[in-house]
Amino acid sequence: MTILRAVAAELAGMFWTDRWLAGATLGLVGVVAGVALRLPGQPLVTGGLLLVGCVVILIGVVRRGARQAVRR
């Protein structure tokens, strides 16, 4: 049981540490899900939106981390 608790704590810690990343990812998935419901026959549109959104989130997280590293 202690291993399960440790794994659960580690997973929760990943999301708790970088709340901006978790929130942006959840928001992106919500938006893409809404688009997928409205355009059911267009998987390339939703896949492309998800890809572009993930890249934008990644760039934002890296820039944010770099700014915080410079301030320290």
pTM recorded for the entire structure: 0.75
Q: Burial letters for 30-58: b for 16+ Cβ neighbours within 10 Å, e otherwise?
A: eebeeebeeeeeeeeebeebbeebeeebe
| Three-class SS state of 65 | helix
Rounded to 5°, the CA angle 9-11-12 comes to 65
| Maximum alpha-carbon separation in the chain | 49
Tell me: the pLDDT tens digits for 32-65? 999 999 999 999 999 999 999 999 999 998 898 8
**In the chain, domain spans:** 18-71
- At 54 the pLDDT is 96
Cβ atoms of residues 24 and 60 within 8 Å: yes
- At 69 the pLDDT is 82
pLDDT at 6 over 90: no
Tell me: the pLDDT tens digits for 9-29? 887 777 777 788 888 999 999
